[in-house]
Amino acid sequence: METPISLRTIQITDAEFEQIAAIVYKNYGIHLTEKKRSLVIGRLQSVLRKRGYTSFQQYIEHLSNENDDSMSELVNRISTNHTFFFREYAHFEFMMQTALPEFESYHKKNNSNTLRIWCAASSSGEEPYTLAMHMMEYFGLNYSKWKAGLLATDISEDALRKAMVGVYPEDAIDKIPAEMQRKYFSKKGNLYQVNDTLKQEVMFRKFNLMTEQFPFKKNFDLISCRNVMIYFDRETKEVLVNKLYDQLRPGGYLFIGHSETLNGLNTPFSYVKSAIYQKKK
Ligand SMILES: C[S@@+](CC[C@H](N)C(=O)[O-])C[C@H]1O[C@@H](n2cnc3c(N)ncnc32)[C@H](O)[C@@H]1O
């Protein structure tokens, strides 16, 4: 039996793929190579159907009407939000053993009790909650003496919504040591809810890393921008990394993903160790 027209996969022409790739690159810096063609076709099918379109051309025309919601929907579909708690643990070890002790003495010396950490591609919350748990563990009972907020941003509204709800299945939290699970999560049926004490330490906001002028008034001690630059080309990465440099205080650290590198980019960052860089003191 033949597949009804309404259920057939809507195919994309070379020109249509190039147009969508250009829109995504211009707005979000995400570089869609030819290898991503089937991802684009697959992830956008339901969007086209919902809108009653029978070709990608109709969708592209709709996008070029600069409709904000459509652009959000596009990036929600195209972006890859894969993440997990305690991912690339070497960063959190470094945080506990080196970065936080340094931040503590730096701020004490400067009569400050404000610590600023930015998780710049926070996805559905696993990374910023991991950062916040480590900050709270490090300071222990003294944590309340610090203004130690954590800013967590992402471009995907879907991911941010999940992050703000903070409810995860059991297999998502199984890398978290049992004691920390008990301290920071409550069991709700088969799911685990981030406790308010942890949740209130993380401020989630929508933010596009391609924004020309970053709006942050104060510098950060640490920026974690992990596993997002893999989607950017060299030029986009270089511009972004130098903007991140400007957002750090001297001696502040940048974390990137372990499969990423700043090698070959023109940037003043000093290499500390794999996936960790520092702004000159
Ligand atoms: C693979 S996830 C990485 C999540 C987390 N940092 C980690 O390492 O586990 C990449 C995230 O980058 C976000 N992203 C992609 N382009 C972005 C942009 N232009 N601005 C802000 N976030 C972006 C995606 O929405 C996605 O949530």
In the beta sheet, which residues pair with residue 256? Answer: 225
Q: Output the DSSP codes for 166-227.
A: TEEEGGGSTTS-HHHHHHHEEEETTEEEE-HHHHTTEEEEE--TT-SS----S-EEEEEE-S
Tokens of 115: 């610590």
How many angstroms separate the alpha carbon of residue 258 from the centre of ligand 1? 15
Arithmetic mean of pLDDT over the chain: 95
Report which secondary-structure segment, H or E, holds 251: strand 248-256
Helix (H, G, I), strand (E, B) or coil at 164: helix
Identical fold, 5-78 and 90-278: no
Nearest CA to ligand 1 atom 3: 227
* pLDDT band of 4, cuts 50, 70, 90: low
**Ramachandran angles phi, psi of 202, nearest 5°:** -120, 125
Fold of 90-278: Rossmann fold (3.40.50)
- 56 dihedral zone (left: phi>0; alpha: psi -120 to 50; beta): alpha
Q: Which residue shows structure tokens 């916040």?
A: 132
Q: How many other C-beta atoms are found inside a 10 Å radius of the C-beta of residue 26?
A: 9
pLDDT surpasses 90 at 200: yes
How many angstroms separate the alpha carbon of residue 230 from the centre of ligand 1? 10
* pLDDT band of 15, cuts 50, 70, 90: very high
Residues of the chain with pLDDT > 70: what percent?
96
Tell me if 29 CB under 6 Å of ligand 1.
Answer: yes
Q: Are 163 and 122 in contact (CB under 8 A)?
A: yes
- Quote the DSSP letter at residue 128: H
Residues of the chain with pLDDT > 90: what percent?
94
- 163 dihedral zone (left: phi>0; alpha: psi -120 to 50; beta): alpha
- Find the range with the poorest average confidence among 45-59, 60-74, 144-158: 60-74
In the beta sheet, which residues pair with residue 98? Answer: none
Q: Could you report the per-residue pLDDT of 100-142, keeping only the tens digit for each?
A: 999 999 999 999 999 999 999 999 999 999 999 999 999 999 9
* Cα separation values, 110 from 97, 149, 220, 245, 260, Å: 21, 18, 15, 21, 33
* Cα–Cα dist 263/18, whole Å: 29
Atom of ligand 1 nearest to the CA of 257: 8
The whole-number pLDDT of residue 247 equals 98
How many angstroms separate the alpha carbon of residue 112 from the centre of ligand 1? 31
The domain segmentation of the chain, as residue ranges, is 5-78, 90-278
Tell me if 127 CB under 6 Å of ligand 1.
Answer: yes
The whole-number pLDDT of residue 1 equals 61
Tell me if 27 CB under 6 Å of ligand 1.
Answer: no
Fold of 5-78: Chemotaxis Receptor Methyltransferase Cher; domain 1 (1.10.155)
Q: pTM of the entire structure?
A: 0.96
